[in-house]
């Protein structure tokens, strides 16, 4: 039998199948993007499709109302094909995954974080220097009396210009040499890398094209962010982000590792990140910066251990299976050409070192950027992402651990969740008396809300709790215009009615969302708790807290403390340092010393495996309340109504 996918905004796709085949599996086989953060176990409710014709056998789900079911909506993960059928696939997946966002670099706020990181690292003695060069050389035209062949002619010119002995001309340059020299009247730009006493030519081009560019990439489980930087000056040339295309194979690393272990899975997952995610962003950023992709001479990827494995296409199974030994922590030797990334094929791809199966290069790079490795202050570094990772320490020692927070901080697992892009509710206050919310929306003036991003959820839950609208378990305990319940009695708080929203759909937060979020914040706090106990310390020992992650710069530390996500210490100790994984990658791509320092940090950091650590589960359960079962830990958190 046959299934036809009518894809919103794209051509339909048909696939042959057998009776009983799972619809989500079929979509994946047919390369039809259906968002399935829970990897098809029925819990997230995102994989909805609409039956247009034919028959499906579907298990009912709390995510589909009776009216929706009547209209044909089904969860594809819960549906079996029973005959020829046609289903409509809404473009939610691509909206969530691939909506590419290019940053406005004229905004000082965008640039400040990179300038700060650079200044901090320089203060710690890290020079922002690398060995990539572009030189313009002129040669005499050959004659009957000057019979030197092209490659020797270029070698002599470069030896004179650069003062090095050995010039390596690889194949990619050699095949263009004759024509480029002649088309440009023997004056050309050569881009490459000094390597000790030799110079590797990576590109030959017209003398006007002198750009040499670095590309720093943060590959998050949910979101990918990237900057292009001038390798000489460190100036940002372009910045952009999009969802990680792998999300349709699972929202978390475990589901993706399972998926890559299936036949052809490694290639599928690698294609999803490289071809479907990174390639279009790089192309877009190159266009916006006005440079050719071949000018990208070095890249640096900061990502968690699983993302690193999936990115290079190395089997990640051992990350998940005891004894949890990945194929690599650090690894030198990867080239852009190995992965067919749109960059100079000879460009080295640096990988910020992983230190364990669940503390990866995003954390070593983030620690590098945070800079406390050079200070006496006891610092806590928290990266809020799909995995929450922590580092605690100072110049003398550093200890790290990871916990699985789920995608809530990036808007996943939340019915109206979204990333911190245009239309996201990034902050919120609620009037305790009227229960009327006041929203701050990402985007231009007049932007109507589309959904809720991580920082918005923190604010909303904190405000709902402060106003007594929800109780310590996250259940609705006040009634009002903004509080509604469905036929099963599940409560929700309406932030924007269908009329007030951009999409014409109500934006609300319900008890399942709140429960998901409480588990996420509980995972973070209990990890902090456990990590501090492991080194025999308490929150009082903390001199500084660095909060990083893509949940939006609007994160309200006070609210985060109120709900028991972050420790109840003086708010002045808190600093939000943005996407420190990207900042760290930026430092590494620019600076050979930063790169070496990051390797050193990775080698010296101790990794604490929480899942096998006694006490962690108890701590987690205790933390799944607002703010905590032990309220003495949060003396400053209280309900005001």
Indicate the residue among 163 and 170 with the shorter CB distance to a copy of itself: 170
Please state the closest distance from residue 269 (CB atom) to a copy of itself, in A: 13
Please state the closest distance from residue 313 (CB atom) to a copy of itself, in A: 6
Interface residue with a copy of itself, options 11, 18, 147, 433 (CB under 8 A): 147
Only one of the segments 64-72, 106-114, 170-178, 295-303 lies at the binding site for a copy of itself (rule: CB under 8 A); that segment is 170-178
Is residue 332 a contact residue for a copy of itself (CB under 8 A)? yes
Contact 546, 626 (CB under 8 A): no
Report which DSSP code applies to 539.
G
Is residue 202 a contact residue for a copy of itself (CB under 8 A)? no
DSSP 212-239: -EEEEEEE-SSEEEEEEEETTT--EEEE
C-alpha to C-alpha distance for 385 and 547, rounded to whole angstroms: 11
Please state the closest distance from residue 472 (CB atom) to a copy of itself, in A: 38
Is residue 335 a contact residue for a copy of itself (CB under 8 A)? yes
Is residue 323 a contact residue for a copy of itself (CB under 8 A)? yes
Is residue 318 a contact residue for a copy of itself (CB under 8 A)? yes
- CB neighbour class for 20 (10 Å; exposed up to 12, middle 13-18, buried from 19): exposed
> For residues 78-97, which are near a copy of itself according to CB under 8 A?
none
Interface residue with a copy of itself, options 324, 468, 502, 571 (CB under 8 A): 324
Please state the closest distance from residue 311 (CB atom) to a copy of itself, in A: 12
Is residue 156 a contact residue for a copy of itself (CB under 8 A)? no
Please state the closest distance from residue 220 (CB atom) to a copy of itself, in A: 22
Interface residue with a copy of itself, options 10, 19, 148, 206 (CB under 8 A): 148
Only one of the segments 216-224, 281-289, 312-320, 359-367 lies at the binding site for a copy of itself (rule: CB under 8 A); that segment is 312-320
CB environment 118-152: b (16+ within 10 A), e (fewer): bebbeebebebebebbbeebebeeeeeeeeeebbe
Only one of the segments 53-61, 314-322, 439-447, 618-626 lies at the binding site for a copy of itself (rule: CB under 8 A); that segment is 314-322
Beta-strand relationship, 451-452 and 424-430: parallel
Is residue 196 a contact residue for a copy of itself (CB under 8 A)? no
Strand partners, 335: 348
C-alpha to C-alpha distance for 46 and 313, rounded to whole angstroms: 27
Please state the closest distance from residue 369 (CB atom) to a copy of itself, in A: 24
Instruction: Give the alpha-carbon dihedral of 612, 613, 617, 622, to 10 degrees.
Output: -170
Interface residue with a copy of itself, options 26, 216, 334, 424 (CB under 8 A): 334
Which residue reads 């990181």 in tokens? Answer: 117
Which residue reads 């020797």 in tokens? Answer: 152
Is residue 149 a contact residue for a copy of itself (CB under 8 A)? yes
Is residue 42 a contact residue for a copy of itself (CB under 8 A)? no
C-alpha to C-alpha distance for 339 and 270, rounded to whole angstroms: 9
Indicate the residue among 312 and 512 with the shorter CB distance to a copy of itself: 312
Total interface residues for a copy of itself by CB under 8 A: 43
Contact 191, 295 (CB under 8 A): yes
Is residue 328 a contact residue for a copy of itself (CB under 8 A)? yes
Please state the closest distance from residue 127 (CB atom) to a copy of itself, in A: 24
Is residue 139 a contact residue for a copy of itself (CB under 8 A)? no
The counts of H helices and E strands in the chain are 19, 27
Indicate the residue among 180 and 222 with the shorter CB distance to a copy of itself: 180
Q: What are the Cα distances from residue 601, in Å, to 396, 397, 402, 543?
A: 11, 10, 17, 20
Radius of gyration of the chain (CA): 26
Which phi and psi (to 5°) does residue 208 adopt?
-75, -25
Is residue 479 a contact residue for a copy of itself (CB under 8 A)? no
- CB neighbour class for 239 (10 Å; exposed up to 12, middle 13-18, buried from 19): buried
Please state the closest distance from residue 306 (CB atom) to a copy of itself, in A: 13
Please state the closest distance from residue 410 (CB atom) to a copy of itself, in A: 28
Interface residue with a copy of itself, options 177, 402, 551, 599 (CB under 8 A): 177
For 67, residues 6+ apart whose C-beta sits below 8 A from its C-beta are none
Count CA within 13 A, CB hemisphere, residue 310: 39
Interface residue with a copy of itself, options 249, 329, 373, 625 (CB under 8 A): 329
Please state the closest distance from residue 195 (CB atom) to a copy of itself, in A: 13
> Which residues contribute to the site for a copy of itself (CB under 8 A)?
142-144, 146-152, 168-172, 174-175, 177-179, 312-315, 317-318, 322-329, 331-335, 338-339, 354, 356
């Amino acid at each position: 039998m046959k299934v036809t996918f009518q894809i919103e905004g794209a051509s339909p796709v048909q696939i042959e199948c057998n009776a009983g085949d799972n619809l989500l599996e079929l979509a994946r086989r047919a390369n039809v993007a259906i968002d399935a953060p829970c990897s098809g176990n029925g819990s997230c409710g995102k994989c909805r499709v609409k039956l247009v014709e034919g028959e499906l056998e579907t298990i009912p789900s709390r995510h589909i109302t009776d009216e929706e079911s009547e209209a044909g909506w089904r969860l594809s993960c819960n549906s079996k094909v029973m005959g020829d059928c046609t289903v409509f696939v809404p473009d939610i997946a691509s909206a969530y995954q691939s909506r590419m966002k290019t940053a406005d670099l004229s905004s000082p706020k965008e640039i400040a974080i990179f300038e700060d990181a650079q200044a901090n690292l320089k203060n710690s003695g890290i020079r922002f220097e690398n060995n990539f060069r572009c030189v313009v050389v002129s040669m005499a035209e050959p004659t009957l009396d000057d019979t030197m062949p092209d490659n020797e002619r270029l070698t002599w010119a470069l030896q004179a210009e650069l003062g090095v002995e050995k010039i390596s001309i690889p194949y990619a340059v050699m095949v263009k040499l004759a024509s480029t020299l002649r088309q440009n009247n023997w004056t050309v730009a050569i881009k490459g890398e000094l390597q000790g006493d030799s110079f590797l030519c990576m590109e030959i081009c017209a003398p006007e094209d002198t750009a040499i560019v670095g590309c720093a990439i943060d590959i998050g489980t949910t979101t990918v962010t990237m900057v292009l930087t001038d390798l000489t000056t460190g100036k940002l040339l372009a910045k952009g982000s999009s969802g990680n295309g792998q999300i349709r194979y699972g929202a978390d690393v475990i589901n993706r590792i399972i998926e890559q272990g299936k036949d052809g899975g490694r290639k599928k997952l690698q294609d999803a990140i490289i071809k479907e995610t990174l390639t279009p962003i790089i192309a877009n950023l190159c266009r916006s910066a006005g440079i050719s992709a071949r000018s990208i001479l070095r890249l640096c990827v900061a990502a968690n251990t699983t993302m690193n494995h999936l990115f290079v296409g190395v089997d990640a199974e051992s990350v998940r299976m005891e004894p949890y030994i990945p194929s690599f922590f650090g690894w030198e030797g990867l080239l852009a050409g190995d992965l067919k990334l749109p960059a100079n094929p000879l460009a080295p791809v640096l990988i910020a070192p992983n230190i364990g199966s669940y503390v990866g290069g995003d954390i070593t790079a983030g620690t590098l950027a945070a800079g406390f490795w050079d200070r006496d202050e006891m610092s806590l570094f928290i990266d809020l992402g799909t995995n929450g990772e922590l580092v605690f320490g100072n110049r003398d020692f550093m200890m790290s651990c990871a916990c699985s927070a789920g995608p809530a901080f990036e808007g996943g697992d939340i019915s109206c969740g979204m990333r911190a892009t245009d239309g996201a509710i990034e902050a919120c206050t609620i009037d305790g008396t009227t229960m009327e919310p006041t929203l701050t929306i990402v985007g231009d003036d007049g932007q109507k809300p589309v959904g809720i991003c991580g920082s918005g959820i923190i604010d909303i839950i904190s405000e709902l709790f402060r106003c007594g609208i929800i109780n310590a378990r996250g259940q609705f305990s006040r009634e009002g215009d903004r509080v509604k319940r469905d036929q099963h009695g599940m409560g929700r708080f309406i932030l924007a009615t269908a009329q007030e929203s951009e999409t014409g759909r109500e934006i609300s937060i319900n008890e399942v969302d709140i429960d998901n979020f409480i588990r996420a914040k509980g995972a973070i706090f209990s990890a902090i708790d456990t990590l501090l106990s492991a080194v025999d310390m308490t929150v009082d020992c903390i001199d500084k807290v660095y909060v990083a992650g893509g949940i939006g710069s609007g994160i309200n530390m006070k609210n985060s403390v109120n709900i028991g996500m972050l420790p109840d210490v003086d708010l002045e100790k808190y600093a939000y340092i943005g996407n420190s994984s990207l900042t760290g990658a930026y430092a590494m791509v620019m600076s050979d010393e930063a790169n070496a320092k990051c390797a050193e940090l990775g080698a010296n950091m101790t990794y604490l495996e929480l899942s096998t650590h006694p006490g962690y589960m108890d701590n987690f359960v205790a933390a799944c309340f607002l703010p905590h079962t032990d309220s003495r830990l949060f003396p400053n958190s209280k309900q005001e109504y």
